[in-house]
Amino acid sequence: MVFGLPNNTVYRTSLSDRLPVAVVGPAPIGIDVEPPAVPLVRGGTLDLVVHVARGADVKGKVRLGFPFKPTGIAAQTDVDVADGADTGSFTVSAKADAPLREWDVVVTGLLRGRDARDDGGALVCSRPVRLQVIEPLVEMTVAKTSAEIGTTARLVGTLTRPPRFAGKAQLTVRGLPTGVTADDVEVTAEATEVVVPIRIDATATPGKHDTILFEIAVPFGERTILHRMPPTQLRIDRPLQTAAVRTAKDAP
């Protein structure tokens, strides 16, 4: 019942064989989560859309929480819905070894006052929604690559098993450093390899960049499921001619 320092040490406890319950007036806010229209794939992400209903003249931002994170599932710590807004979203992701099963998850809402310490006296919870984790519909490994500043290169992804979707998926390269650009490409269900050209201009920073990854929006009925492939490395080198000139200038 009472906590303190250090590490939330318990100073006072109470044991009971009954749970006190009180009926009170309506809460000033309500939280409702849209059931996900698509499953969450291992290694992928999904946005849970949250609707906030406010009572008459209820003001202040609402802090959304995700109190229960199933095994292998990660989510943001909290999300703020601004004063006057009625919609927010929670991004959840699944690890590569997340259990393949369904989970019931909820989102909480805390009404905040103008003062950050004012919780408005209202913590509410949504009804549970079902979150299903499934195997990826496409899997690939992306080879490391290197290129000089001022040139073009290719990122090559090799599919490790036949894709399990119909139609065409949209691939976007994420994590590219400043000065490096790439266009989106399509991935068909018959593909065994995907090649993405990249452009490296004069502003690119030389060195190793380890955050390059393929993000693929795979069709699933009338919607798409977002997949993220394991990251790869792009090494950017200075032009050999520039390096040779610098060496000559430094020579005695």
The Cα 150–Cα 140 span in angstroms is 28
- Does 129 share its domain with 200? no
**10 Å Cβ neighbour count for 28?**
19
pLDDT reading at 105 higher than 50: yes
Confidence band of 8 (pLDDT split at 50, 70, 90): confident
Residue identified by tokens 């989970």 is: 103
pLDDT reading at 244 higher than 70: no
Tell me what pLDDT residue 232 has.
Answer: 96
Task: Identify which of 103, 92, 132 has the alpha carbon closest to the alpha carbon of residue 228.
Answer: 92
Confidence band of 115 (pLDDT split at 50, 70, 90): very low
| Mean predicted lDDT score pLDDT of the chain | 89
- Does 72 share its domain with 160? no
Task: Identify which of 137, 126, 171, 163 has the alpha carbon closest to the alpha carbon of residue 40.
Answer: 137
Task: Identify which of 81, 99, 87, 26 has the alpha carbon closest to the alpha carbon of residue 56.
Answer: 26
Within-domain flag for 244? no
Higher pLDDT pick, 58 / 197:
197
Q: Among 113, 134, 155, give the residue marking a domain's end.
A: 134
Within-domain flag for 192? yes
Q: Among 102, 134, 166, give the residue marking a domain's end.
A: 134
- Does 153 share its domain with 106? no
Within-domain flag for 73? yes
Lowest mean pLDDT among 9-23, 179-193, 227-241: 9-23
Within-domain flag for 114? yes
The Cα 201–Cα 151 span in angstroms is 7
Residues of the domain holding 184:
140-238
- Does 34 share its domain with 60? yes
Contact 206, 200 (CB under 8 A): no
Confidence band of 57 (pLDDT split at 50, 70, 90): confident
Within-domain flag for 171? yes
Entry pTM: 0.77
Q: Among 106, 134, 162, give the residue marking a domain's end.
A: 134
Contact 216, 224 (CB under 8 A): no
Contact 201, 179 (CB under 8 A): yes
